[in-house]
Amino acid sequence: MPLLQVNNLSVSFDQYGRGLERFVTTPIRSLSIEIGKGEILAVVGASGSGKSLLAHAIMGILPANAIVGGEIKFKGNLIDERSIKKYRGKQIAFIPQSVNYLDPSMKVKNQVRIGLPGIKSERIEKQEHLFEKFGLKKSDGDLYPFELSGGMMRRVLFTTSMISPDTELVIADEPTPGIHRSALDLVLNQLKTIADSGIGVMLITHDIISALKIADRVSVFKDGCTVDDIPASFFSADGESLENEYTRMLWKSLPEHSFMEAI
Amino acid sequence: MSLKVNNLGFCYRPESWVFRNVSIEVPKGGRIGIYGNSGCGKTTLAKILASFISPKEGEVVVDGENQKREGFQPVQLIFQHPEKTMNPLWRMKDSLCESYVPEKSLLDAFGIRDEWMERYPIELSGGELQRFSIVRALHPETKYIIADEMTTMLDAITQASIWKGLLEIVKERNLGLIVISHEMAIIDKICDSCLNLEDYCHA
Ligand SMILES: Nc1ncnc2c1ncn2[C@@H]1O[C@H](COP(=O)(O)OP(=O)(O)OP(=O)(O)O)[C@@H](O)[C@H]1O
Ligand SMILES: Nc1ncnc2c1ncn2[C@@H]1O[C@H](COP(=O)(O)OP(=O)(O)OP(=O)(O)O)[C@@H](O)[C@H]1O
Ligand SMILES: [Mg+2]
Ligand SMILES: [Mg+2]
């Protein structure tokens, strides 16, 4: 049985325009994915295709005006906004995309410590260890979010949602944008280590080349639909094994490949 | 005509220099790439150039004149995290038209859809928001653009098409461009020259 199964998920929003006329938009029409134990699924695709909304739907943190269709199963059990509560932050860990999830009024070391298990001294030790692991200085812990650089913020976000002993699934929404090679490798290695211990990982990213280093499979989203689901090994030099036209275009327009010439 | 910095130095805390002695010149129509490890001061440098913060040492000279603090800034910065630059309580339309009203063709060039205008920032994806900040920066009086990890939030196709769109406008208006990116492939394909800011770091 797969760890996580999303079948035909749709998400609509009930919205009000100027003058209070109501209308419904449906950014997610039909998304289906599957992640097994110890498997890394990279989710790539168009910006605005619904990658973050998928993560939010799984975590049960969509806004109140969202209407959800289809099914989400965790270890075979249907989950919804209510039942997710018992998994959230425990069996299922989430690393959000937006840096706005950091509390602007709290030193970052304290934000990281809150989420860690154990008594105070253990949490302090663990937090310092995590910082060291991701190339952050001990003194960086005393900074407030606005005092961090973009890449430092990403790494702090990554440590705030670090896994607990019960974690079975990690959902990482764009954990790596804007960080340099060596820091990027630290994050990738960490995700790989997590997966090797049997945890399922959903890695949402635009950095396909990095994702391919650790992913088993790749799911491609466009306009709120899953348009492709293929083994990572299909992405080769010129993309000739990529049958889906959108996937091939995505691969070709990478800056390392044809970039603007592909457009 | 150029954007020039002479012996620039900055520290957030006394004597704890982020960088020192940075001198760069971006000619009108020129394109320079800046890279370096996370935390080496790229965004800080960008904020000084765009006049958000003042340097502790050195000066910024824009087209022969010392940088002014008031009025419209001819050096416009496009940030790494668009969600932090938008007022969460304003509809996108109001954020977009705060300093000028962009033409329809400009909105089309960046794929901004009508239906996004009435929404609040939280109701858009990261990539959609970034397009708004790009258009905001392209005020008719803008002379230099600093793109700080501008497309790190975008998929490869959108990234390539946005760069294509921006470069067309940059050429057409003969703007100077500074590209801050950790992706060397982008800098290689866009810029005439590049520098590693770590060479000026004092950490
Ligand atoms: N609260 C909301 N109300 C209405 N539409 C929304 C809301 N939140 C998101 N959307 C729309 O849903 C679509 C999917 O958004 P989502 O944030 O999931 O994209 P994404 O794939 O994560 O993109 P990116 O790669 O840019 O982060 C977008 O078109 C966005 O405008
Ligand atoms: N407002 C602030 N107050 C205090 N320190 C700050 C502030 N902003 C940035 N810093 C510090 O200045 C240094 C440079 O930060 P900056 O954001 O310029 O780096 P960067 O090169 O843009 O990094 P990245 O690639 O991660 O975006 C970092 O050590 C950061 O912690
Ligand atoms: Mg997203
Ligand atoms: Mg930065």
Q: What is the ipTM of this complex?
A: 0.90
Among A97, A150, A250, whose Cβ lies nearest the Cβ of B157? Answer: A250
Number of domains in chain A: 1
**Alpha helix stretches (DSSP H) within chain A:** 51-59, 108-114, 120-133, 150-160, 181-196, 208-214, 245-252
Residue A115 belongs to some domain of the structure: yes
A26 lies within 8 A of chain B by CB: no
Q: How many domains does chain B have?
A: 1
What are the beta bridge partners of residue A226?
Answer: A221
The CATH number that applies at residue B165 is 3.40.50.300
* Domain assignment of residue A106, yes or no: yes
Mean pLDDT per 10-residue run, chain B (203 residues)?
Answer: 96 93 96 95 96 95 90 91 88 94 94 93 88 95 96 91 93 98 95 95 68
For residue A101, pLDDT beyond 90: no
Spatial separation of the C-alpha atoms in residues A4 and A35, rounded to whole Å: 5
Range of A151's domain?
99-163
CA–CA min distance B57, chain A (Å): 20
Q: Is B118 on the interface with A (CB under 8 A)?
A: yes
A51 lines ligand 1 (CB under 6 A): yes
pLDDT at A97 (0 to 100):
87
Residue with tokens 């998400």: A11
Token couple for A38: 């110890």
Q: Which ligand is nearest to the CA of A10?
A: 1
pLDDT at position A162 is: 66
A237 close to B (CB below 8 A)? no
- Nearest chain A residue to B38 by CA: give it: A151
Domain that holds residue B16: 2-200
Give domain status of residue A171, yes or no: no
User: Taking ligand 4, which is a single-atom ion, which protein residues have CB atoms under 5 Å away?
Assistant: A 149-150; B 42-43
B163 close to A (CB below 8 A): yes
- For A121-146, the pLDDT digits (tens) are 999 999 999 999 888 999 999 999 99
Burial class (CB in 10 A: 0-12, 13-18, 19+), B195: middle
Beta strand segments in chain B, E: 2-13, 16-27, 31-35, 57-62, 65-66, 75-78, 144-148, 176-180, 193-196
Nearest-CA distance from A242 to chain B in Å? Answer: 16
